Amino acid sequence: MPTTTISRSRRERPAKPALSRQGIISTAVAVMRAEGLEHVTMRRLAAELDTGPASLYVYVRNTDELHAAVLDEILGSVGFEPDGMPRQWADTVVWVLASYTSILVEHPGLARSALVTRPAGPNYLALVERLLALLREGGVSDAQSAWGIDILLLFATSIALEHGTRRQVMDGVEDEEALAHAIRQATTNQHPTIAALGDDLLSGTPQARFEWHVRVLLTGMATTPRPPLEAEHNVERP
């Protein structure tokens, strides 16, 4: 006797949750945490949300905007206030940037996206606001802060991308050992300065070097005046 398959009517199926921008972003974050940012595509999210890719474009213009939204969502975890004893403004800048970097190290795809994308979400703006307020607290002029913030975030993002990518590359340690060996084998005839510095080029923990680099940037920012802005030209409009 043949088996009869009884299909459920559409009224009997559980209703799908309504699409929303936040729901799409939350799903994208979940996919990113599980599989990496490269798997966060419109087609993949459509499958996760049981809809068609075209319906997602109502809420997100393209994949770049989606990745920027995922980045902003993750930046909500950046710490703004160090625990424990109060710190000087420069110490807090180092701490905030270290928090930002540690988050992106876990997601190198996001760090790569942050280098080529201009985030504009609320969490990114909160990070910029906090850093600018700290720079003002430290006596850095607003004009120098307005340009210097780019250097701070670019440095921290680049460090996150470097360290995060190295974690994913199996031969990363071998590369570091090869570099160390090359530096120690440098001769005074061919590379006299490298030979003179020797192991000092390799000294210091990543944390110590990171903190020193940030302080160098802060000192340079505070003491290097901005060039005058070019005079605006009056352009006749039709």
Q: How many C-beta atoms lie closer than 10 Å to residue 164's C-beta?
A: 21
The four Cα atoms 66, 70, 71, 75 give a dihedral, to 10 degrees, of 150
Give me the CATH code for the 21-60 domain, please: 1.10.10.60
Contact 201, 183 (CB under 8 A): yes
Question: In the predicted model, is pLDDT for residue 114 greater than 60?
Answer: yes
Question: What is the model's pLDDT at position 10?
Answer: 46
pLDDT of residue 12: 53
What is the distance, to the nearest Å, from the Cα of residue 86 to the centroid of all Cα atoms in its chain?
27
Centroid of chain to Cα 133: 20
Check residue 157 and give its pLDDT.
96
21-60 and 78-223 share one CATH topology?
Answer: no
Name the one residue in this structure whose structure tokens are 């430290």. Answer: 138
- pLDDT tens-place string over residues 49-100: 999 999 999 999 999 999 999 999 999 999 998 877 668 999 999 999 999 9
- 3-state secondary structure (DSSP) of residue 158: helix
Model confidence, pTM: 0.82
| Homologous superfamily, domain 78-223 | Tetracycline Repressor, domain 2 (1.10.357.10)
In the chain, where are the structural domains located?
Answer: 21-60, 78-223
Q: Which residue has the higher pLDDT, 12 or 55?
A: 55
Could you tell me which of 104, 113, 133 has the C-alpha nearest to residue 38? 113
